[in-house]
Chains A and B, each alone.
Chain A
Amino acid sequence: MSKLYKKWFFPFVLPAFAIFLIVVLIPFIIGIFYSFTGWRGSFFMGPNGRTTNPFESFLGLKNYIAAFKQESFRSAFLFSVKFTVLAVIAVNVVALAQALLVNAIGKAVCVFRATFFLPNLLGGLSLGFIWLFIFNNIFTKVLFGKEGVIPIKFLTYMTDKDPNKLMFAILIMAVWQMSGYMMVIYTAGLANISDDYYEAASIDGANAFQKFFKITIPMLMPSFTIVFFLVLSRCFMLLDQNIALTNNAPQGYRMLAAQVLKVTNDTNGNYGIAQAEAVIFFLVVATISITQTVILKGKEVEMQ
């Protein structure tokens, strides 16, 4: 078996690795290089004008400094961080509640699981437009408007000129979409916890809260690690829903990914700055994700 494995390992891995190299790795490295130059899409802009030699237009960290000086980049960064923190908490609470409830009921489990998972099957932009319709028509006119069922001013015109309302709108959408997927991960985690622990705890006189905090939560730590990582990276990279809801128009309402996409337009096709912002974006997401994974990994319970 091992001999066969050794013989066929490289022929089977090579095509996938070649595609990964050509489509992901090499463009990524070239992209990092472009972020230090005056790249304009088809030529480089050096101190002496147009050039085809990238080293003549080498700018050092100027693109990065220009990126940080942009007000729109700073506001998008802040908006993304705030949104991600709130979304990680909200998605986890809802997903865990769904998983615990489905687990406790034990009836019609498949129906509930399928229902909660359904929003994941919808694509980003279409999902954004569905929610745009709901926020502008159903929320504003039918449910929470002046003549609606329950008049709540905050829940009307959520995609208009208030960043807080918009953030809450995207939060509703993110929780609605992601919680089902995360619920499936939590359900798998819950299924792995042996009933013996709960039985032993019951004999020792533990109540439901003690069982939850002393058994369920520690035993679910591997699931927490995966879910935190997934929600964190997905929220930071949220693009299409944000664009669908805001039509990508006002500054200060954009997520970081939408901002990186928009910046080329704002700076007259200066792709060097856009690339610098993309690299900063990558570094932020990678740093936060790795830090979080390392911290949570340390808290995982070792199964004997």
Chain B
Amino acid sequence: MNNSVQTTGQKLGKVVMFIVLLIMGLVTIFPIASCL
């Protein structure tokens, strides 16, 4: 796979995926953080 050239759609996809991951991470941390 050639990762050096990315279309705008691919870049947008990565940003969306990053945001989804970030939300998942926050949801995972939340129960532990709520007890602090």
**A contacts, CB < 8 Å to B:** 98, 101-102, 104-105, 107, 111-112, 115-116, 118-119, 122, 130-131, 133-134, 138, 176, 180, 195, 198-199, 202
Contact = CB atoms under 8 A, between A and B. Distances in A.
Given A98-B24, A104-B14, A115 B31 contact: no
B20 A101 contact: yes
Interface residues of B, number: 15
Contacts of A180: 28
SS class, residues of chain B in contact with chain A: helix
B28 A134 contact: no
Given A102-B21, A104-B17, A138-B34, A195 B28 contact: no
Contacts of A116: 24-25, 28
Interface in B6-26: 14, 17-18, 20-21, 24-25
B35 interface: yes
B32 A198 contact: no
Q: Is the interface of A mostly helix, strand, loop or mixed?
A: helix
B5 interface: no
Contact of A118 (B1, B17, B28): B28
11 contacts: A102-B21, A105-B17, A107-B18, A112-B21, A115-B25, A115-B29, A119-B28, A119-B32, A130-B35, A176-B31, A202-B1
Nearest to B35: A130
Contacts of A138: 34
A101 B28 contact: no
Contacts of B20: 101
Contacts, number: 48
A224 B34 CA distance: 33
B32 A130 contact: yes
Contacts of B27: 176
A122 to B, nearest CB: 8
B17 A115 contact: no
Contacts of A101: 17, 20-21, 24
B2 to A, nearest CB: 9
A130 B31 contact: yes
Contacts of B24: 98, 101, 116
Contacts of B17: 101, 104-105
A98 B1 CA distance: 21
A138 to B, nearest CB: 6
Nearest to B29: A115
Best-buried of B27, B28, B29, B34 by chain A (most CB within 10 Å): B28
Contact of B31 (A98, A112, A131, A195): A131
Contact of A105 (B21, B28, B29): B21
A118 B21 contact: no
Contact of B28 (A115, A131, A133, A202): A115
A299 to B, nearest CB: 27
A198 B21 contact: no
A195 B1 contact: yes
Contact of A134 (B18, B21, B29, B34): B34
